[in-house]
């Protein structure tokens, strides 16, 4: 089954403790992206990757890192989480046809930073 898999689904951590949210897709998509969803703010893009070893900042990249060493994986790294990073995070992927192609989203990771 074609899917984007994120782990974990829920994560509670404390300020300053490094964490990684994993994302994997099995559709051989070149493009992958991370979004955060906050009440009243909708979906905002954090980082995206057009292909292996190519990453770019989205609208809200501060406090986040990403890497794209393999085509299928695109982990999101919070080196020193802060309470304002408490949010619902989504990973997404699409084929290489451009922004006008269907995005496939993972099921989300609810992160709470205390």
Partner 1 sequence: GENVEQHPSTLSVQEGDSAVIKCTYSDSASNYFPWYKQELGKGPQLIIDIRSNVGEKKDQRIAVTLNKTAKHFSLHITETQPEDSAVYFCAASEGNTPLVFGKGTRLSVIA
- Among residues 52, 56, 47, the alpha carbon closest in space to that of 69 is found at 52
Cis peptide before 92 (omega within 30 of 0): no
User: Closer CB to partner 1, residue 9 or residue 17?
Assistant: 9
Contact criterion met (CB below 8 Å) for 75 and 4: no
Which residues, numbered 88-107, are part of the site for partner 1 (CB under 8 A)? 90, 92, 98-100, 102-103, 105-107
User: Closer CB to partner 1, residue 16 or residue 97?
Assistant: 97
Cis peptide before 8 (omega within 30 of 0): yes
Which residues, numbered 18-77, are part of the site for partner 1 (CB under 8 A)? 33, 40-45, 48, 58
Two structure tokens written together for 74:
């695109």
Contacts with partner 1, residue ranges (CB under 8 A): 4, 33, 40-45, 48, 58, 90, 92, 98-100, 102-103, 105-108
């Amino acid at each position: 089954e074609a899917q984007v898999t994120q782990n974990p689904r829920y994560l509670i951590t404390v300020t300053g403790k490094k964490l990684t949210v994993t994302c994997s897709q099995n559709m051989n998509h070149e493009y992958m992206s991370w979004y955060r969803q906050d009440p009243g703010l909708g979906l905002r893009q954090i980082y995206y990757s057009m292909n292996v070893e190519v990453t770019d900042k989205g609208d809200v990249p501060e406090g986040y890192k990403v890497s794209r060493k393999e085509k299928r994986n695109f982990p999101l790294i919070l080196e020193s989480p802060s309470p304002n990073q408490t949010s619902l995070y989504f990973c997404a992927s699409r084929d290489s046809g451009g922004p006008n192609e269907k995005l496939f989203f993972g099921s989300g990771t609810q992160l709470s930073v205390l």
